[in-house]
Chain A
Amino acid sequence: MDILFGAVASGILLGMVLALVALGLTIIFGLMDIVNFAHGEFLMVGMYTGLLTAQATGMDPLFTLPLAGAIGFLLGVACYGGFVKYLLRGPMIAQLLGTFGLMLLLRNLALLFFGSEDRALHHGLLVGKSFDVGMGIILSATKLAVAALSVLAFCGVWLLMNRTKTGKALTATALNRQGARYMGIPTERMNALAWGIGGSTVTVAGALLVNFWSVNPYVGLIFTMIAFTVVALGGFGSVPGAFFAGLVVGFIMEIPGFWDFFAITFDIGWMADVPMTSFKYTWIYVAYFVIMLISPRGLFGWKQ
């Protein structure tokens, strides 16, 4: 049973972490309908920001989060104003190829400046600490912190979208850009704002992730894939949907843990021999494929 509880707890924590990673994309892609393949690279920028500021100043990476957020906001706004704005004038394919190019640019800039070495933080208030709460559940302090921030960030974005005028303007822009402009909504500014918020949430996530994951210039790809799965699963346009989708993806990544539970509890020999951990990312792609097949609008989506 310990194995089962451990896997469930770890799935929930990981799910909240992944939801936070995907929040930025939920805003940019899910809400505003602009594809961003460079999402994982934004995360990478956040990770390097957290790592380098912590190393340069000797401060705990927790205290440099606002800086990471600010850099992410500026990066998002700059990318939109200097680049994506022009892509929107073209067909959909322009967004696909354009943000794909942005991804390559950011990745190669990182290679140029930081090299291809893996880098990681080894010291910090939370690094290496974990709590054993019994029943096989071990919670690491770093992941708990990210999970807490994840809940806060999701609440914040939900409030922004549903309780403020700006949120209404953002939704209007996403639904019908031309119509919104006729109503006097500064749509350009709304899009830039969405990119800014999206960028800052993902860089803050990155700055926290670097507490327990190492960073290299290639780290973005897997997170881009995960984020797209979360957004697709949660449904386009739904903030709470993205959060629950994050949890589902967390559980999907925990499949090896559940597999072990069955193999060991029921002593099934052939199950124990299957190298499930080698396929832990495979299930995400399988899930993405299945969702696209049976419910292209996702679980909670409202947009066509």
Chain B
Amino acid sequence: MKISSKCARLLVGIFLLTALVLPSAVTAEEIKIGVLFPLTGGAASAGRELRSGAELALDIANNAMPDINMTMAKNAGIKSMGGAKITLIFKDHEGNPTLGADLAKKLILDDKVHGLMGAYHSAVTKAVSVVAEQYGVPLINDSSTSPELTKQGYKWFWRTTPHDVYFTKDLFEFLKGLTEGKVKGVPAVPKKEIMNLASACEKTEWGAAVSELIEKFGKEYGFEVKKSILYAAKATDLSSEVRSLIAVKPDAMLFASYTSDAILMMKTLKDQKAAPKLLWGQNAGFEVPEFVTTLGDTTVGSLTRTVFIPKIAQVKPVAAKVNAMYKAKTGNDLSGASARSFTGLQAWVHVLEKAGSLKPADIQKAANAIEIPGDELVVPWQGIKFATTGDDIGQNTLGMGLIGQYQKGADGKIDLEIVYPFNVATANMIYPFPKF
């Protein structure tokens, strides 16, 4: 009698213990990801885009939406962790690297996040990546394009977006194509007519790197870079910079600018009656919605590299679907910024699903092993697969860029049309750039 009651008590005890322990091991663990974006400051509008893109991806990941053809839409939460839901903790770094690093520390130590994402400005991402490396917390970068970031050999850093070596090479391939008559709607332009280039780039990590790449590829492709200017993105006045550009009479003007300075640059160019034959921006400020809403017709004819143009929807059904959801949520089409933060979080979901646990080592292993096919992505890449060897560790090897041109449609709306790669061009290119 005594023994059996002891037995019974033991059994009840074990049952209670398993009842308490097991569910928490299998279900409903909360996955916390700290997200660092510039929600105020000069790039705030890009920050809002980035945030909305990540939030939409979160929504799709945490709820089952079987009508979207994505792995992360099939389940509610992370299936391999018993449907655990993801929570994003957003922090605003204002474009300030020191603040970014502090916030990353805070996210790791106080909020105990399992991973990080961000931070748009390459200079901030660099500072955050040092913190992530130090604490051994995985950081997936969605939208910083300084090539330097994946050259550091870090073990906790992965980048989904292609970087500026890809994009700048695209630009020169495009210029080369222009001289060879490959651009849709433009007969071959003699090289001497487009020979002289001038660039103005903002002077932090990102712009300075772009400026160097333009010089490097310019030499390689046989163009002459007559002037390279570095300026402060927070500048209130760019007139002496613009006059310095105009002074060398460039055929093409190339820019790497964040939001407010891109707008100021265009206004000053117009003010000073600049007349380049070609005007190209390295995305960022040149493709946030504000660029068109504030400048209007001034933007027509300018080019920007990007990774997403709404016209992609015509050839990618999954992009059309997600773009429609994004438009319903924010009123804007997806842009290069929002499409990339969406894709960044999508990569996070795949990594977590594969890892099946929240141990940093498991996440690290999973990130190095994932392979997302291109047809699941909204961006026109071949997929996502991170390099684990070589001199570009953590870089997605399957990404690619687009070059778009702002054109006015029949309805009077200004939209980006694809002009590069040449085989997916959606419209005839406007050449030369119309006078301001």
**A interface with B by C-beta (< 8 Å):** 3, 6-7, 10, 14, 115-118, 120, 122, 128, 130, 132, 138, 140, 212-216, 218-219, 222, 253-254, 256-257, 260-261, 264, 272, 275-278, 280
- B18-57 interface code vs A (CB 8 A; 1 in, 0 out): 0000000000000000000000111010000000000000
Output the nearest chain A residue to B263 by Cβ-Cβ distance.
A120
- B274-307 interface code vs A (CB 8 A; 1 in, 0 out): 0000000000000000000011000000000000
B264–A264 touching, CB < 8 Å: no
Pick from B44, B243, B267: contact of A257, CB under 8 Å: B243
Taking CB atoms and an 8 Å cut-off, the chain B residues in 230-247 that contact chain A are 230-231, 234, 236-237, 239-241, 243-244, 247
A277–B244 touching, CB < 8 Å: yes
Output the nearest chain A residue to B211 by Cβ-Cβ distance.
A275
Residues of B within 8 Å of A117, CB to CB, are 40-42, 44, 260
Pick from B42, B244, B259, B273: contact of A256, CB under 8 Å: B244
Residues of A within 8 Å of B247, CB to CB, are 3, 257, 260-261, 264
Question: CA of A212 to CA of B248 in the docked complex: distance in angstroms?
Answer: 25
A219 with B236: in contact, given A117-B42, A138-B271, A276-B244 (CB under 8 Å)? yes
Question: CA of A144 to CA of B260 in the docked complex: distance in angstroms?
Answer: 24
Residues of A within 8 Å of B40, CB to CB, are 115-117
B240–A10 touching, CB < 8 Å: yes
Residues of B within 8 Å of A280, CB to CB, are 240
B240–A140 touching, CB < 8 Å: no
Residues of A within 8 Å of B227, CB to CB, are 272
- B67-95 interface code vs A (CB 8 A; 1 in, 0 out): 00000000000000000000000000010
Output the nearest chain A residue to B260 by Cβ-Cβ distance.
A118
Pick from B230, B236, B243, B259: contact of A10, CB under 8 Å: B243
Pick from B243, B260, B267: contact of A128, CB under 8 Å: B267
- Work out how many contacts link A and B, with CB atoms closer than 8 A: 88
Question: CA of A73 to CA of B258 in the docked complex: distance in angstroms?
Answer: 36
Output the nearest chain A residue to B241 by Cβ-Cβ distance.
A277
Asked whether any CB of chain A lies closer than 8 Å to the CB of B365, the reply is: no
Residues of A within 8 Å of B44, CB to CB, are 115, 117
Residues of B within 8 Å of A7, CB to CB, are 243
A6–B243 touching, CB < 8 Å: yes
B248–A264 touching, CB < 8 Å: yes
Output the nearest chain B residue to A276 by Cβ-Cβ distance.
B244
Asked whether any CB of chain A lies closer than 8 Å to the CB of B270, the reply is: yes
The 5 closest A-B pairs by CB, nearest first: A118-B260, A213-B236, A260-B247, A277-B241, A122-B294
Asked whether any CB of chain A lies closer than 8 Å to the CB of B203, the reply is: yes
A253–B240 touching, CB < 8 Å: yes
Residues of B within 8 Å of A132, CB to CB, are 273
Given A130-B272, A212-B237, A219-B236, 13 other A-B contacts at CB below 8 A? A10-B239, A120-B263, A122-B263, A130-B271, A140-B271, A212-B267, A214-B236, A222-B236, A256-B241, A256-B244, A260-B247, A260-B248, A275-B228
Question: CA of A183 to CA of B44 in the docked complex: distance in angstroms?
Answer: 58
Question: What is the CB-to-nearest-CB distance from B427 to chain A, in angstroms, rounded to a whole number?
Answer: 27
Pick from A118, A128, A253, A277: contact of B271, CB under 8 Å: A128
Residues of A within 8 Å of B42, CB to CB, are 117-118, 216
Asked whether any CB of chain A lies closer than 8 Å to the CB of B324, the reply is: no
Output the nearest chain B residue to A3 by Cβ-Cβ distance.
B247
Can you show 28 pairs from A to B with CB atoms below 8 A apart?
Answer: A3-B243, A3-B247, A7-B243, A10-B243, A14-B239, A115-B44, A116-B94, A117-B40, A117-B42, A117-B44, A118-B41, A118-B234, A130-B271, A130-B272, A138-B271, A138-B272, A138-B273, A213-B236, A214-B260, A215-B236, A216-B234, A253-B240, A257-B243, A257-B244, A257-B247, A260-B247, A260-B248, A278-B229
